[in-house]
């Protein structure tokens, strides 16, 4: 399974495969054509309250992930949608944050990879 993350403002590439915007808000200043997104899955983004509380504070990263993973556990349909796409082709999770590492797309990628590992172990 090939899941990557990429900043929405970076140029699209063929290697991106299926491009999914995983932010609740559309990236500022970028047109739909320029973003070249296959799916905008805003319901997979962290809740507004969690996003605002986290505010990209590195000291809150682990707690943010814990709360976000709980939200994702309750959002099986959206999670399954990404996993199905990733089972067919490369998937790139697009995010708009300037923060390259500590962002919702990175946390989501970690969550999805854990789900794949858990499923493989159970099989």
Q: Give the pLDDT score at 76.
A: 94
Task: Report the run of H or E that residue 94 belongs to, with start and end.
Answer: strand 91-95
Question: CA–CA separation, 74 vs 12, rounded Å?
Answer: 31
Task: Report the run of H or E that residue 105 belongs to, with start and end.
Answer: helix 104-122
> What residue ranges of the chain have pLDDT lower than 70?
123
Question: CA–CA separation, 23 vs 77, rounded Å?
Answer: 17
Question: CA–CA separation, 16 vs 49, rounded Å?
Answer: 30
Q: Give the pLDDT score at 123.
A: 66
| Model confidence, pTM | 0.94
């Amino acid at each position: 399974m090939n899941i990557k993350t990429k900043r929405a403002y970076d140029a699209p590439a063929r290697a991106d495969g299926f491009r999914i915007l995983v932010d609740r808000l559309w990236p500022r200043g970028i047109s739909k054509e320029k973003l070249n997104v296959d799916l905008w899955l805003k319901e997979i983004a962290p809740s507004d309250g969690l996003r605002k509380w986290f505010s990209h504070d590195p000291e809150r990263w682990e707690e943010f992930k814990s709360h976000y993973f709980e939200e994702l556990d309750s959002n099986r349909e959206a999670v399954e949608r990404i996993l199905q796409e990733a089972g067919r082709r490369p998937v790139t999770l697009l995010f708009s944050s300037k923060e390259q590492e500590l962002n919702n797309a990175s946390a989501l990628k970690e969550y999805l990879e854990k789900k794949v590992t858990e499923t493989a172990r159970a099989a």
